[in-house]
A and B are shown apart, each in its own frame.
Chain A
C-alpha cells in the first residue's frame, strides 16, 4: 500500500517536472510582457511533432539528433510569434493581445493537423524498459524527463544569477519602462525570453511525447496545467513556476487514489479557480490602480 502511494508520488514528480518546464516560459512572458500567451502550448506540440518528423522516414534520424533541428524550428516559431504578432501589439490593450494569442494558437494547432492529421502518433522506438526500485516502477524515459528538468533548471539558474543577460532579464521583469531608460538592451532580452520559452516548452513536449504519445491537443491540455502552475508560483516568477509545476503534478497523481481518474484534470482546473478566488487580483499584482 505504501508503495502504491510512493508510485503515485513518483508519477507526480515526473509529470510535475514536465509541467514546470512548460510553465517557465509562460511565467517569463507574463513577467515581462504582462499577457497570457495562449500560443505557448503550441510550442510544446510543434517541438514534439517536429522531432517525430525528423526521426521517421524520409529523414529517419536518431531521436537524439532529430531534437536539434526540431528545437531550432520551434525557437523560430517562438521568435516569429513575437516579431509578427506580439511586438506590433505591444501597446494594445491586454485583451487584444489575448485574442490574438488565441487566434495564433488555433492557427498553429490546425497547422499540426494539416501536416500530420488528428490521430494519435507514437515514436517508433523499442518499448522503453523500466526499472523496479523497491516496488516503484519507472521507465528510462521518465528518468530522462526528471534529469532533463533538473539540468534545464540548473542552467537557467546559472543564466539568471551569474550572467549580465540574466540580471537585465530580471530587471526588465521588475519594471520594463525603467529598464529601457536604464539602457538595457530590450531586443536582446526579448530574444532571450522567447528562445528560453521555446526551448523549455519544446523539450518538455518532446519528453512528454516520448513517454506517452503525440496528438494535436497535447499543447493546449498542458497549457492549462502550466497556467495553474504559474498562478500557484506567482508573480511571473520562474522558481514559483517550478514549485507550482511540481505541486500540480503531484496533486493530480495523488488524487487518482481518491477520485476517478476521469476527473484528474479537475484538480488543476479546481486549483486555478480557488487560486483566482482567493487572490482575486491575480498573483502578478496586475491590479488596476484607482488613480
Chain B
C-alpha cells in the first residue's frame, strides 16, 4: 500500500510537470526541450531556502517566483527563434542550468547534492506521512488542471492556438504574439517550478543528476504519448509512463539482471517516441478540432 501511495505521488508530480509543458508545447506549439531547468530551479530554490531557515511556505513562493522570472528571461531573447531553433536554445539553457547546479559547490554542494530537505511539520516525514503528502500533491495537481483549463478554454487559449497554427495570421489580426507567448512560458515555468518544489520536499534529497536531458525526454514522452494540446492528455501520459517506470522498481528481478532494467526501459521510451511520431503523432487522446468557446 505504501508503494502504491509513493507511485501515485510521483505520478501526480509528473502530471503537474507534464501539464505545464503541454501549455507551451501542446497549446502554443513552443517546443521547449529545456523544461527540466524550471523543475530544477524550483526544486533547488525551495530546498536551499528552507535548508537555510526560511519558512517552507515562503520558500515555495520564492521558488516558483524565481522559476517564473527565469522563464521570462529565457522567453524574451529566444521567442524570436523559429521552431527547431527555439528547441535547441532551450535545450542549451537547461544544460547551462545543470552546469550551474553542478559547479557552484559553495551553494549547491555540487554533485553531492542537498540532503535532508525539510518538510512542513504538519505533514511530517516517514511512511506515516504518505497519505497526507498524497493529499497535498493531489490538491496541487487538481489546482494545476483547473487553472490550465481556465487559461486555455478562453480567448487567451484561442490566441495560443492561433499562434501555433499560424503566427503571421495572429499578428495580422492584431495579436501581440511575443507577449502572449511570453506569458505562456512564464505560467509553464511557474507550474514546472511547483512540480520541482513538491518533488524536492517529497524525496528530501536532490542532486544535479536529477535534472538532466533524461528527465526532459521523460516529460516530453508523457505529453506526446498522452496527447498534446488536450487537457487530460498529459495527465494520462504521466500516469502511464511513471506508473510503468515506478512499478518496475518493485518487480523482483534477479540481481544479475538488475543492471539491464534501466537501459531497457530507456530503449522502450525512445522507441515509443519514434513510433508515436511515425504512427500516431497526435497521441493517445487526440485534440478536438472544435474549440470550446462557450463552456469556458
Judge A-B direct contact (beta carbons within 8 Å): yes
Q: Which residues of A contact B (CB under 8 A)?
A: 35-36, 85, 88-89, 92, 94-100, 102-111, 113-114, 117-118, 220, 224, 227, 260, 262-263, 265-266, 269-270, 272-273, 276-277, 280-282, 286-288, 290
Residue of B nearest to A287 (CB): B82
Return the contact of A107 from the options B103, B262, B274, B276 (Cβ within 8 A): B274
**CB<8 Å pairs between A and B, sample of 8:** A92-B277, A95-B84, A107-B270, A263-B99, A265-B99, A269-B92, A280-B80, A282-B85
Known A-B contacts A110-B267, A117-B259, A272-B88; A99 and B82 likewise in contact (beta carbons under 8 Å)? no
A269-B96, A276-B85, A288-B168 are known; give 10 further A-B pairs, CB within 8 A.
A35-B84, A99-B273, A102-B33, A102-B273, A107-B266, A107-B271, A109-B266, A266-B96, A280-B80, A286-B82
A85 to chain B, nearest CB (A): 6
| A98-B88 Cα distance, complex, nearest whole Å | 10
Q: Are A106 and B273 in contact (CB under 8 A)?
A: yes
Q: Are A106 and B95 in contact (CB under 8 A)?
A: no
Q: Which residues of B contact A270 (CB under 8 A)?
A: 96
Query: Which of A105, A110, A224, A266 counts the most chain B CB atoms within 10 A?
Result: A110
Q: Are A85 and B92 in contact (CB under 8 A)?
A: no
Q: Which residues of B contact A110 (CB under 8 A)?
A: 262-267, 270
B78 is an interface residue with CB less than 8 A from chain A: yes
Q: Are A97 and B99 in contact (CB under 8 A)?
A: no
Return the contact of B31 from the options A89, A95, A276, A280 (Cβ within 8 A): A95
Q: Are B99 and A107 in contact (CB under 8 A)?
A: no
**Secondary structure call for the B interface:** helix
Q: Are A97 and B270 in contact (CB under 8 A)?
A: no
| A98-B277 Cα distance, complex, nearest whole Å | 10
B120 is an interface residue with CB less than 8 A from chain A: no
Q: Are A227 and B274 in contact (CB under 8 A)?
A: no
Return the contact of B273 from the options A100, A114, A281 (Cβ within 8 A): A100
Q: Are B77 and A277 in contact (CB under 8 A)?
A: yes
B11 to chain A, nearest CB (A): 21
Query: Which of B80, B84, B272 counts the most chain A CB atoms within 10 A?
Result: B84
B122 is an interface residue with CB less than 8 A from chain A: no
Residue of A nearest to B89 (CB): A276
Q: Which residues of A contact B217 (CB under 8 A)?
A: 102-103, 106
Residue of A nearest to B273 (CB): A103
